[in-house]
Amino acid sequence: MKTRYNAGAIALHWIIALLILSNIGLAWWFNTLHGQAKIEPVQLHKSIGITVLILSTLRLGWRLAVPAPKLPEDFRGWEKWLAQTVHVLFYMVMVGLPLTGWAFSSASPLIHVFPIVLFHLIPWPTLTPLANLPHDQMKAAHDFFLAGHGLLAKLAYVLIVLHVAGALKHQFISNDDVVARMVPFLRLRKTEAT
């Protein structure tokens, strides 16, 4: 029975995690800035967010094509439910945060001045229906998607805490192989059967 994630799933997990944490730090930083100083970090935040969207879509496809290893048999019902719920919510956040960011950026007059260009190299399309709304409707759409972005960001904080707490619990209290399934340099305590 397969007990470890494959190399592709592991790589996508850690790359996406690093990008999300980088974007959180970047958002905290640029929210302390004003005027011109804010433009470049906001543009980088958008580039990272779209990259997370692309990689998360790839990861979701990978997950559907290559199922995850089964959870250990000794997991209690609530542990399985919590693990599965956190993973589903993470996918919602990994896709929903960039989509709402893209939407509220498109529903802003500034999109015509500062279009999304991924890492100053690849032009990213504007959501044209949002960018062409009349002013009042554009403002309402912008505020709606911005509020959704903020709620998903708060959910991301909760999920990160739960995910890290769960990993620490399994590594240091339960003393099982759950963390080693996703960390390539950790040895599995139980022998992997092929």
Q: Which amino acid is at 40?
A: E
- 104-160 confidence digits (pLDDT tens): 999 999 999 999 999 999 999 999 999 999 999 999 999 999 999 999 999 999 999
- 32-71 burial code (b ≥16 CB/10 A, e <16): eeeeeeeeebbbbbbbbbbbbbebbeebeebeeeeeebee
Taking domain 7-181, whether its CATH number is 1.10.287 is answered by no
Domain ranges for the chain = 7-181
Residues in the chain: 194
Return the amino acid letter for 32: T
pTM of the model: 0.92
